[in-house]
Amino acid sequence: MPFFFMKYLLRVTLLCLFIFILMNACKPSSPKADLLIQNANIYTVSESQPKAEAVAIIGDTIAFVGSNQEAAAWADDHTQLLDLQGKTMTPGWIEGHAHFMGIGENKMNLDLLQVRSYEEMVRQVAEAVRKMKPGEWIVGRGWHQDKWDSLPDPMVKGFPTHQGLSAVAPQNPVYLSHASGHAALANAKAMEMAGIRNISPEAPAPASVEGGEIVKDPLGNPTGIFNENAMALIRSHIPEQSDERNEQVAQLAMQECLENGITSLHDAGESEDIIALYKKLAANGQLKTRLYVMLSSQDTSLLESYFNNGPEIGLHHHFLTIRSIKLYADGALGSRGAWLLNEYADMPGEYGDETTPVERIFEVTLKALQSGLQVCTHAIGDRANREVLDQYEKAFQQVPDRAENTRFRIEHAQHLSAQDIPRFAQLGVIPAMQAIHMSSDRPWAIDRLGQARIEEGAYVWRKLLDSGAIVVNGTDAPVEPINPIASFYASVTRKTLQGTPEGGYEASQKMTREEALRSYTLFPAFSAFEEEIKGTIAPGKLADFTVFSQDLMQVPEAQLLNTRVDLTIVGGKIVYERKP
């Protein structure tokens, strides 16, 4: 036998032996699966295997995805069996943009999301006063004058004034954030503590604030409304919270996430002390929701630290990652702080606010590229979005060797110029949008922008998807409740949560249900560089799942909002189970 052929046979034999060993190594070993989920209607969001019936989990990782019959081989006496009895299961839902601590704060402070009049808000404050000592701060969030059933008199620049709050809380400072988080209403006591008082014709007006506004009445007196950066004039006087209270806030936020099927959350801007809290909770195994954290750009020393040291990825079994920066280019549409190319339709001469100079956005973007950090910039108005895209592109051109696969994001991307829509895909910039904003805001947003601008570029996720962009979904909680079903519904119907209008607003911009599911699973995983471990149900990925009360991919549209989260599973552990 020729020597070369003997060598060939030896190679083949060794190869077969290797394959045999590999195949046997891949077979389930005892204990086979720690958890075996069976009899499920599984949408995997994986193109190679879109549907399945069963999943086997070892530790915190998926080991098998397939049929009930095949799954039986993965069980032994030590395996926990979970029979879903036909319920629908998907990859764990990922909240693509929210404020984690704000979610918990809303549980502890006045929650004004459901308030429908100024008088109702005043009544809530009056009730809080009865429970407080004089001098204690009353803090709340969630009011939105455009969602009220009636408006008070007076109104200045479209906002209510402080007099009603000041009357019921003369000895307690009151600070109530607008639902958007980009404006706030303070009472007379809070303004007095901040040194902002009524003025006489001879007295100087309160100092102006770069990137913000103290709204004043025709006489020049402060109305109590503080827009954008001006909010800090009041907020800086609110006492800092204790570590114990912050930990309680975080626990409340976690519970709210898990009850809504959120297994991971992109936290849009945190300070050094809150990041330290997250690290402590993660190290102690107390984080139950995985956090992808953006650094607050307002904390310059924190940014410099990460510029020097780089990101922190996958800490404590992938429960905490810190690798991005949150910037603010403008304000919100509701407070007319969104920065527009053309003036507001309902307030001629008003264009919104540039809350961070574009030079600063470029500076941070360039440093982030050089440090391996992602940049996520809040931009709602069409001018703000254009400016941010321009700064990103300028930075990419300056350091082209670092410009590949940056996955830079624009948070909200709510109102775009037609010529800027294709630039997202062209530059590889990800629009992180919140479909529920369309549902809540569209009825009044048309007054701000007018029909032509609404149709051209407001909430246009269909145009973005068709151009090749990756669209990330979410709620911006606590601006909106964190319930992902509501945002999913808005994505596919373009309706308010009351089911109006028939056919939806700008119906051509609807997502399909498959696209909406990807926008809550695979796309946010990709936007956080985590698509290898999250976003689909496949072997080797983290065992994070959301189980629903009905098949949200098939039920009639009118029944979608009746869907409930029955189970939330994180790392192969059931962390929430809905009671009947």
**Closest listed residue to residue 378, CA positions, set 421, 412, 352, 340:** 412
Alpha helices in 136-271 (DSSP H): 163-168, 188-193, 232-235, 243-259
Q: What is the rounded distance in angstroms from the CA atom of residue 564 to the CA atom of residue 69?
A: 28
| Residue 80 β-bridge partners | 35
| Residue 214 β-bridge partners | 226
* Residue 313: DSSP 8-state: E
In this predicted structure, what is the pLDDT of residue 208?
A: 63
CA 100 distance to own-chain centroid? 9
Q: What is the rounded distance in angstroms from the CA atom of residue 276 to the CA atom of residue 272?
A: 6
- Tracing tokens 């808005």 back to the chain, one arrives at 490
The tokens describing 463, both together, are 């145009």
* H or E, element range at 465: helix 461-466
Q: What is the rounded distance in angstroms from the CA atom of residue 472 to the CA atom of residue 26?
A: 35
**Closest listed residue to residue 332, CA positions, set 117, 478, 479, 502:** 479
| Residue 548 β-bridge partners | 88, 565
Rounded to 5 degrees, what angle do the CA atoms 285, 288, 289 make?
Answer: 130
Cα–Cα distance list, 74 to 81, 232, 312 (Å): 11, 57, 35
* Helix 358-371 with 300-309: angle, nearest 10 deg: 30
In this predicted structure, what is the pLDDT of residue 14?
A: 46
> What are the domain boundaries of the chain?
31-92+536-580, 104-235
CB under 8 Å to 85, separation ≥6 — which residues?
A: 39
Q: What is the rounded distance in angstroms from the CA atom of residue 96 to the CA atom of residue 520?
A: 7
CA-derived radius of gyration, the chain: 26
- Tracing tokens 């007006």 back to the chain, one arrives at 205
The tokens describing 185, both together, are 């209403």
- 29: number of CA atoms within 13 Å, CB side? 4
Q: Is 164 helix (H, G, I), strand (E, B) or coil?
A: helix
* Residue 355: DSSP 8-state: -
The separation between the first and the last C-alpha atoms of the chain, rounded to the nearest angstrom, is 74
**Closest listed residue to residue 106, CA positions, set 579, 497, 476:** 476
Q: Which residues does the chain have with pLDDT short of 50?
A: 1-25, 28-29, 201-202, 204-205
Are residues 148 and 116 in contact, defined by beta-carbon separation less than 8 angstroms?
Answer: yes
**Could you say which of 1.10.10.10, 1.20.120.1200, 2.30.40.10, 3.30.360.10 is the CATH number of the domain covering 31-92+536-580?**
2.30.40.10
In this predicted structure, what is the pLDDT of residue 486?
A: 98
In this predicted structure, what is the pLDDT of residue 198?
A: 80
CATH topology of domain 104-235: Diaminopimelate Epimerase; Chain A, domain 1 (3.10.310)
Rounded to 5 degrees, what angle do the CA atoms 99, 104, 108 make?
Answer: 135
Are residues 528 and 96 in contact, defined by beta-carbon separation less than 8 angstroms?
Answer: no
Rounded to 5 degrees, what angle do the CA atoms 224, 226, 228 make?
Answer: 170
Q: What is the rounded distance in angstroms from the CA atom of residue 268 to the CA atom of residue 241?
A: 20
Q: Is 544 helix (H, G, I), strand (E, B) or coil?
A: coil
According to DSSP, the β-strands at 174-178 and 138-143 are parallel
Rounded to 5 degrees, what angle do the CA atoms 420, 424, 428 make?
Answer: 150
Task: Work out the burial of residue 126: count CB atoms within 10 Å of its CB; fewer than 13 is exposed, 13-18 middle, 19 or more buried.
Answer: middle
How many residues are there in the chain? Answer: 580
In this predicted structure, what is the pLDDT of residue 209?
A: 79
Alpha helices in 343-381 (DSSP H): 358-371
Q: pLDDT tens digits for 158-210?
A: 899 999 999 999 999 999 999 888 899 999 999 999 998 886 544 544 556 78
Q: What is the rounded distance in angstroms from the CA atom of residue 116 to the CA atom of residue 140?
A: 15
Q: What is the rounded distance in angstroms from the CA atom of residue 9 to the CA atom of residue 97?
A: 58
- Tracing tokens 């929650």 back to the chain, one arrives at 111
Q: What is the rounded distance in angstroms from the CA atom of residue 477 to the CA atom of residue 336?
A: 20
Q: Is 135 helix (H, G, I), strand (E, B) or coil?
A: coil
Q: What is the rounded distance in angstroms from the CA atom of residue 535 to the CA atom of residue 438?
A: 24
The tokens describing 223, both together, are 């109305």
Are residues 24 and 39 in contact, defined by beta-carbon separation less than 8 angstroms?
Answer: no
